[in-house]
């Protein structure tokens, strides 16, 4: 495998007046953005690559007058309910004890409120519970048994989330794990070849992030996941943490992520992406800057390739107040789903920091 560093010359920005490619163009002051929203911006929904149905559903609801948050949550519910998506909700791959634990966060631009749940078990739609935390509690984040009790108090029903297919994947991992799990011996940042040694087909990172701007020019977002497969019980990634796996500022934009949550937790990338957009960066450039930040920030050699680059994948998705959107990943090959008003959503390629070339 030959890998060379290259910034992809990619940008597909959707200005809703029909203009194309706006790399690095200054977005303008917040007052200007607000005025343009009222007169020019049409709805946009952006999501991770597993969100074709989610973005289509969200757009349908938005065009019918729904609030962006209600729309994106209904969209990701499709993926949470899908037993064939191993990274979200029902059918998600379990922790190392064979138990499915889910994380989710939501953020509502117009009110500036947010809610989240982490390590919740037996509830298929954690995104709905996260919204309930936002609306019916004085808290932002509930975890574990407390999150489950809160969900049940509000009428959510417990059910077994471990499908036969996910169970078989977990058993294969149990039979082959050896010492390649998440438990590490004492080590410093120079240690290599400890942990994170799974064969690619065994370990799975996944998630769905979905962000939207509605007919009123308001932004909202949701991120939901079953997390890192075969994780230590109680592990929480970035998806439940506002500022890391999701962040929304109604006057600027929204951003979310998928991929290795530990890296994104350390970088708080979603809030950084929104701040880059506040400074005038396009959504794509803001996402690329977050990718570079993670790669530069990672010092542990076990997480780096032979050239000192972060060797895992993280993908970001962003949407600004003007309806411009974009995505970028650390490594090439990622795609994202977008809907700008069509009946059918489409996949577009993400920009990337490093290109992987296979011989």
**Mean pLDDT computed over 148-175:** 94
pLDDT in tens, 68-126: 999 999 999 999 999 999 889 999 999 999 999 999 999 999 999 999 999 999 999 99
β 335-339/346-349 pair status:
antiparallel
Model pLDDT, residue 179: 54
Asked if pLDDT for residue 26 goes beyond 90, the answer is no
Q: What is the pTM of this model?
A: 0.84
Residues 6+ apart with CB under 8 A from 93: 86, 87, 100, 166, 169, 170, 204, 226, 229, 230
Within 10 A of 26 (CB to CB), how many other CB atoms are there? 10
Model pLDDT, residue 23: 32
Select from 238, 255, 241 the least CA-distant residue to 320.
255
**Mean pLDDT computed over 198-203:** 41
Cα separation, 56 vs 291, in Å, equals 27
3 state DSSP class of 11: coil
Among 15, 37, 207, 223, the active-site one is: 207
For the question of residue 258 being annotated catalytic, the response is no
Model pLDDT, residue 189: 75
**Domain 2-357 sits in CATH 3.40.50.720:** no
pLDDT in tens, 129-138: 999 999 999 9
Cα separation, 43 vs 52, in Å, equals 16
**Counting beta carbons within 10 angstroms of the beta carbon of residue 113, is it exposed (0 to 12), middle (13 to 18) or buried (19 or more)?**
middle
Q: How far from 174 is each of 99, 128, 166, 168, 199, CA to CA, in Å?
A: 13, 32, 12, 10, 13
Model pLDDT, residue 178: 56
Within 10 A of 105 (CB to CB), how many other CB atoms are there? 35
Asked if pLDDT for residue 5 goes beyond 60, the answer is no
Cα separation, 124 vs 218, in Å, equals 28
- Domain residue ranges in the chain: 2-357
Beta bridge partners of 225: 103
């Amino acid at each position: 495998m030959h890998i060379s560093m290259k910034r992809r010359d990619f940008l597909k920005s959707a200005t809703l007046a029909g203009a194309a490619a706006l790399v690095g163009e200054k977005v303008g002051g917040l007052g200007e953005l607000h005025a343009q929203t009222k007169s020019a911006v049409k709805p946009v929904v952006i999501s991770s690559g597993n969100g074709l149905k989610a973005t289509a559903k969200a757009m349908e609801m938005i065009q019918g007058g729904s609030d962006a948050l209600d729309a994106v949550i209904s969209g990701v519910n499709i993926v949470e309910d899908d037993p064939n998506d191993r990274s979200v909700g029902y059918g998600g791959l379990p922790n190392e004890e064979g138990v499915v634990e889910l994380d989710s966060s939501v953020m509502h631009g117009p009110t500036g409120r947010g809610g989240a749940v982490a390590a919740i078990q037996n509830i298929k739609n954690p995104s709905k519970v996260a919204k309930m935390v936002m609306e019916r509690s004085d808290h932002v984040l509930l975890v574990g048994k407390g999150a489950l009790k809160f969900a049940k108090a509000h009428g959510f029903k417990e059910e077994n989330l471990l499908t036969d297919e996910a169970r078989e994947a977990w058993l294969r991992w149990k039979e082959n794990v050896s010492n390649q799990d998440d438990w590490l011996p004492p080590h410093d940042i120079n240690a290599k070849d400890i942990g994170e040694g799974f064969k690619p087909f065994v370990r799975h990172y996944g998630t769905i992030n979905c962000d939207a701007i509605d007919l009123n020019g308001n932004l909202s977002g949701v991120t939901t996941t079953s997390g890192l497969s075969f994780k230590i019980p109680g592990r929480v990634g970035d998806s439940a943490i506002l500022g890391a796996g999701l962040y929304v500022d109604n006057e600027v934009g929204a951003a979310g992520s998928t991929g290795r949550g530990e890296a994104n937790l350390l970088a708080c990338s979603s809030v950084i992406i929104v701040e880059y957009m506040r400074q005038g960066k396009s959504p794509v450039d803001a996402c690329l800057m977050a990718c570079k930040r993670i790669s530069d920030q990672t010092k542990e050699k076990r997480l780096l390739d032979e050239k000192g680059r972060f060797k895992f994948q993280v993908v970001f998705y962003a949407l600004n107040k003007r309806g411009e959107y974009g995505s970028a990943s650390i490594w090439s090959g990622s795609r994202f789903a977008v809907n700008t008003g069509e009946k059918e959503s489409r996949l577009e390629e993400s920009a990337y920091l490093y290109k992987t070339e296979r011989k």
